[in-house]
Structure 1
Amino acid sequence: MERVLLFILSLFFFYQLSYAENGSVVVISIDALHPDAIVKIKPKNIGKLIDIGVSNFNGKSVKPPKTLISHTAMVTGKTPIDSGYNSNVWKSGDPTVSGETVFHDAKSAGLKTYYIYSKQKLGFLNNSAIDKSIFGKDDSISIAEKIILNEKKPYFMFLHISGLDEVGPQYGWLSDEYLEEFKFIDNELQKIIDHFIHSKNGTIIITSDHAGHEKEHGTDHPEDYKLPLIIFSKTTNFDDIKTSSYSSYQLRSLVNRVFKKK
């Protein structure tokens, strides 16, 4: 009996180790990023990932294409209809997400988990599988950068970046002000992106929750649903995303490819 137990435990630790050997995984959600902005300004740093990784600029948000609803779909891997989460409103003290999430997948794979977000309502996604959750309204990138450059153990991080979601409604999607804000975000991401480019076995995914049109978003307008998907991985093949359809609720399954889970 003891030998059987030791064998089971050894298998458990072996598979956890094999998952961890796939390296760290970071998902970056740039709130309200329209894929056309990438085409227009050809961002220096995100552009590096596009050149050496795979990308799809024809992604689609869930319905309705709103911040909390889309991000909930990302981490649960379920559409709003399937999950029942279709509210874009949450405040501290309200119930948080229940059930399994991509953070639970990461924990099962033996990775430390981080969640860094810049909108209070995204606190809804906090759950017991997250080792470190940090709200940083204006400094989420710098918080993430510090962790990424100093963390020694394999980890999974979900990083949410705000900014475009404020500039878009004020000046318009793809306006000069919007594009300048995107350039700023791209510059701020330089160290994180370079870190993964030079890492031994990491994976970085950049996407968004929704886009917008004129000064509007969250409607049934086709532009509001648009989002990009960019992946660079040293361990996992994602070539199929270049031509496949993609919706935000499929993010969890993409991340699980790195963990070698179906």
Structure 2
Amino acid sequence: MLCVFDCESIPDTQLLRKIYGYEGDDLEICEQAFKAQEELSGSSFLPHAFHKIISIAALIADESGNMIKIGCFEEGGGEKAILSSFLQYLNTKQPRLVSFNGRGFDIPTILLRAMQYNLNAEAYFETTNPTLKKDKWENYRQRYSERFHLDLFDVLGHYGAATKGLRLNVLANMCGLPGKYDIYGDEVYRLYFENQQERIDTYCQSDVLNTYWVYLKYQLLSGVIQLSHYRKCLESMGEKIPQDKEYADIFLEAIQAEIQAI
């Protein structure tokens, strides 16, 4: 089982108030935190612990890479419910994870935030499981093993040697994929405080679709699959994309263009 995932987060304004004594409404707290962080480090990106998880989207595929479904864990739920649902799935199914910078951001943030709710992520830390052929060399935490967690940012960036400017949106556009067509990550916190959770979930799912497609390209590049199977996976994706989502027409058009070009 394959689980291509991505998460969206906003600044934890309650934690920021508690630690730094910021005053104002949530948007003002965010702006103060971004400014202070940029002055400190040259980047407005906050440390992992200050990222409150508001959405985790996932595309589930079979072992051959054929898409089965896409959606969000506990869509519309609070952070605890979202994290609990994701970790329960991870512990129960132990899928192969696929992400873009999941080792650098998504997983560390998910695990840190899970601690405040006393949640369990035992499957992620497990290093002995003969049934799954999991050992100290093959497990979720092994950076150089692609068996349990394939981080496309890591492998395509040659594990840090060539990551400059390596972004999912750049790769997607280079490969003729839709990429980010409507919302960008730095807009998410404003949308959240405007009560536009559904748009955020839809955006998160579109990022997952882009990640999945880049994964297929990587499988093709590395010789794991052949062009005929790649085409089959594209056809499956076209059939399984929810027709009621904003991203449907954009991705379906791109899929048809890619199939015709093969």
Fold match by TM threshold 0.5: no
Structure of higher RCO (CA pairs closer than 8 Å, 6+ residues apart): 1
Say which structure is richer in helix.
Answer: 2
Task: Give the TM-score of the pair, scaled to structure 1.
Answer: 0.30
What is the TM-score normalised by the length of structure 2? 0.30
